[in-house]
Amino acid sequence: MYQRLIFNDLKKNGLVSITVCVFMALSAAFIGLTVMLFSSLLGSVDKLMTDAKTCDFLQMHSGDIDREELGTFAGTREDVEDMLIGSFLNMDNSVISLNGRLLTDSTQDNGFCVQNENFDYMLGMENEILEPEEGKVYVPVCYKNEYDLEEGQIMKVCGIELVIEGFLRDSQMNSMMASSKRFLVNPEDYKKLEPYGSTEYLIEFLIKDGYDINAFSTAYGDAGLPCNGPKITAPLIRMMNALSDGVMILVILLVSVVVLIISLICIRYIVITGMEKDRKEAGMLKALGLSRRDIKSIYILKYMILSCAGGIAGTVLAFAVSGPLGKQMRMLYGPAENTAGIAIVSLAGILLTEMIILCFVRGILGKNDRLSVVEAIRDGGFDARRKTDSFIWISVVMAAALFLMLVPVNLASTVSSGKFVSYMGVGQSQIRMDIRQSDDIERVAKDISEKIGRDERVERSALMQTRSYRASVDGEEYVELLTEEGDHTAFPLNYISGREALSEGEIALSMLMAQELSCDIGDTILLSGSKGAESYTVCGIYSDITNGGKTAKISSDPLAETADEGREVIWSVIYITLKSGEDMPAWINEYQEYCNEYGSSVKIVDIAQYVDGTYGQTIRRIKLAALTSVLVSCLIIFVVILLFTRLKIWQEKKDIVLKKALGVSCKHIKRDYLARTLCFMAAGVIIGVFMGVVLGEQLAGTLMGMLGAGGFRFIIDRWMVFLLVPCISLAVALMGVRTATREVGEIKIIPVG
């Protein structure tokens, strides 16, 4: 009997059943997709780093090295498992062309290397260790789509032709957030290219399990070993690899949560409406002797069937969509190792979603237990208060959908804005000049800075030089701290709290560094340099998502003789803003030619190009997620409004018949529904815009804060947020109402007698 009742109900209410199933499927699909992509990303990155035997500690160094000294240091350390010294032949981007296209627009430091022997392997597309033939080259896989490359095409370097044999995965420099990219060549080809480039050494260590990488890093610095370059650890490498796709997955997670909430709202309304519709049938079943528990079981069994169908459909959808969404992730990092485990975890997420929905439905059905037989049989329908309350759900759904649209849209507009550099620890300027891989970075930087200072086309400029210091709060436990010295008032940052360092003895810390040192404004820290340990007072805390988010800034004139000459400059950066009306591309080209005379790798880019080159991949993924969220939200709005209006028409069928009998036209009745829903739609849009801007900013700020971007603020495209998105939402909602009200014309007046 139960089976017959359920089958007849599903057949009778086909549209409602399909709608419930669709919402269950969407909720399951989004949750399953989020779990699947996140597990795959972590699994792929971990497998790539395992197969490549990624180092635990990497010190990049420009200049001479003493291999014997490094070998002696490694031999005396019980925490060192293995060590290698790799060579990175840095080339000027203007002498490299891929398939006829010069890399002059690249913000990356491009260079060549040979395959390592013990660890830090360059891997192929099957994660195999590559051994290129003479005359062949393996290109970083991230350039494959960017430059539309295929195997067999030609790469030219200073007139030397190399055939692209394939593409490589570099576990250390795979992400576009890594500032360097390695091309793999045969040792014979490396010798041919060596006279045209500058050599940078990669001093790498594998640390035994159970030992602290930070302690090793401190010991390396104390030993006075080569350190003229960035210092990177395995956790930072893993974070950079996972960050670009990880941001997109976080956006999908947000979409998943909102879709689940909207689904629960809609299912609640559908269940309550169904219970009202089945009031008489439920009363008759009670009168025939069925207990409340039996009637409730019929409903629960019905929704369990719909949940199973929705879960299966959601699983199929999640696996289907994960293919194209995870295509770039698989290309960059390869397939995850434990695919069966990922599938199980994803299915567990889908099952949990369906259980949440079923528990929610069970709670709503509990209200039906309070109906007596007489109340159930009486044809009372909805009271006026419930009719009004039901319309409020339109506002709730519209607000949730607008929130779902605007958070990714605002995040995309923020990271695409030129002002986003403020979260990279950089003040707003027009041009950025990087001086690295030079035998004398400090001298080259000073010469160029002095020339820029005499240039009448320049409105203002600032030279920043980065050194590595040992920092401590208590004078006992030290950490390595990348400290930028210069005039920080020339291009000021937006500080989370406090201000920039203005005088000697003051220091500003990045948010993550302040957290690691447990420092706040007014606290004192010790910096150990060539002059010994000196006290600095924390005067400001700022955002920085570069260099692992752990940096500092002190006020010092890099051109002065009193600069800390005992600490080598790791790199120098000059920020420039030109006077109004000056030709920026021409200025950049002129100075690029001038800087080439130094025989060093000096890279000049406009800030917009720098941001795109560093975070362009992430920005494009966020924009894709934003577009997806807008399309999904529009679909939800249309389906929900269509469903709601059709159900309202069914509830008010008797009123419609009466109006028609009194001569009211179908057109007037349709307008009435349009007018009744429009005010609730508009209210939902207003609330949704507020939530998307205010609450969305707080949510995005929490996520960005994990990366070091404290005090995060949306940079809003007002035309998009306050006009385009609300108008699209209202248009889709009105389309849903107009589609649903077509049923008004199908309602006939039943003649009497």
Give, in order, the Cα–Cα distances in Å from 586 to each of 3, 583, 606.
79, 6, 12
pLDDT for 184 equals 93
Between 549 and 141, whose confidence is greater? Answer: 141
Which among 599, 633, 667 is the end of a domain? 599
pLDDT of 633-657, one tens digit each? 888 888 888 877 877 777 777 778 7
Contact 356, 263 (CB under 8 A): no
Q: What is d(CA 308, CA 316) in angstroms, rounded to the nearest whole number?
A: 12
- Residue 274, pLDDT above cutoff 90: no
In a domain, 638, yes or no: no
Of residues 483, 443, 465, the one with CA closest to residue 574 = 465
In a domain, 645, yes or no: no
pLDDT for 384 equals 43
446 and 592 housed in the same domain: yes
Query: What residues have CB less than 8 Å from 559, skipping those under 6 apart?
Result: 446, 449, 450, 463
pLDDT of 569-596, one tens digit each? 778 889 999 998 888 889 988 888 888 7
pLDDT band at 194 (very low <50, low <70, confident <90, very high): confident
Please give the average per-residue pLDDT across 323-332, as a whole number. 81
In a domain, 706, yes or no: no
Q: What is d(CA 403, CA 675) in angstroms, rounded to the nearest whole number?
A: 24
Please give the average per-residue pLDDT across 267-287, as a whole number. 66
Between 460 and 390, whose confidence is greater? Answer: 460
Q: What is d(CA 178, CA 423) in angstroms, rounded to the nearest whole number?
A: 17
Burial class (CB in 10 A: 0-12, 13-18, 19+), 122: buried
Contact 647, 273 (CB under 8 A): yes
pLDDT for 626 equals 82
70 and 201 housed in the same domain: yes
pLDDT of 678-732, one tens digit each? 889 999 999 999 998 888 888 777 766 665 566 677 888 889 899 999 999 999 9
- Type of residue found at 401: A
10 and 98 housed in the same domain: no
550 and 567 housed in the same domain: yes
pLDDT for 382 equals 44
pLDDT for 752 equals 47
Name which of 228-232, 261-265, 673-677 the model is least confident about: 228-232
Q: What total of structural domains would you count in the chain?
A: 3
Between 296 and 122, whose confidence is greater? Answer: 122
- Residue 742, pLDDT above cutoff 90: no
In a domain, 567, yes or no: yes
Burial class (CB in 10 A: 0-12, 13-18, 19+), 178: buried
Please give the average per-residue pLDDT across 373-381, as a whole number. 46
212 and 87 housed in the same domain: yes
pLDDT band at 675 (very low <50, low <70, confident <90, very high): confident
Contact 488, 501 (CB under 8 A): yes
The helix/strand/coil state of 179 is coil
308 and 350 housed in the same domain: yes
Which among 227, 249, 269 is the end of a domain? 227
In a domain, 409, yes or no: no
pLDDT for 106 equals 74
Contact 464, 572 (CB under 8 A): yes
pLDDT for 286 equals 59
- Residue 372, pLDDT above cutoff 50: no
Contact 587, 547 (CB under 8 A): no
In a domain, 683, yes or no: no
Please give the average per-residue pLDDT across 177-206, as a whole number. 87
Quote the radius of gyration of the chain (alpha carbons, Å).
32
In a domain, 743, yes or no: no
pLDDT band at 388 (very low <50, low <70, confident <90, very high): very low
Paired strand residues for 601: 436
Please give the average per-residue pLDDT across 113-133, as a whole number. 90
pLDDT of 515-556, one tens digit each? 888 888 999 998 876 667 788 999 999 887 666 667 899 987
Please give the average per-residue pLDDT across 425-444, as a whole number. 77
DSSP string for 518-552: T--TT-EEEEEETTEEEEEEEEEEE---SGGG-EE
Supply the mean pLDDT for the chain: 81
pLDDT of 204-237, one tens digit each? 999 998 888 878 887 887 787 877 777 788 877 8
The helix/strand/coil state of 169 is strand
32 and 75 housed in the same domain: no
In a domain, 387, yes or no: no
Task: Determine how many CB atoms are found less than 10 A away from the CB of residue 709.
Answer: 27
177 and 256 housed in the same domain: no
Between 744 and 472, whose confidence is greater? Answer: 472
Q: Is the dihedral of CA 719, 722, 724, 725 positive or negative?
A: positive
Please give the average per-residue pLDDT across 485-496, as a whole number. 86
pLDDT band at 375 (very low <50, low <70, confident <90, very high): very low
The helix/strand/coil state of 577 is strand
Q: Is the dihedral of CA 552, 555, 560, 565 positive or negative?
A: negative
- Type of residue found at 428: Q
Between 100 and 191, whose confidence is greater? Answer: 191
Please give the average per-residue pLDDT across 7-28, as a whole number. 75
pLDDT for 530 equals 62
Please, how many CA atoms are within 13 Å of residue 493, restricted to the half-sphere of its CB?
31
Q: What is d(CA 214, CA 378) in angstroms, rounded to the nearest whole number?
A: 75
462 and 590 housed in the same domain: yes
- Type of residue found at 8: N
111 and 217 housed in the same domain: yes
Please give the average per-residue pLDDT across 252-272, as a whole number. 79
Enumerate the H helices of 53-141 as residue ranges.
67-76
- Residue 606, pLDDT above cutoff 60: yes
pLDDT band at 335 (very low <50, low <70, confident <90, very high): confident
Between 177 and 473, whose confidence is greater? Answer: 473
Which among 336, 355, 381 is the end of a domain? 381
315 and 215 housed in the same domain: no
289 and 332 housed in the same domain: yes
pLDDT of 166-180, one tens digit each? 999 988 888 766 778
Of residues 254, 276, 352, 260, the one with CA closest to residue 16 = 276
Between 179 and 430, whose confidence is greater? Answer: 430
Domain that holds residue 270: 1-58+234-381
pLDDT band at 115 (very low <50, low <70, confident <90, very high): very high
Tokens 């159970």: give the residue: 210
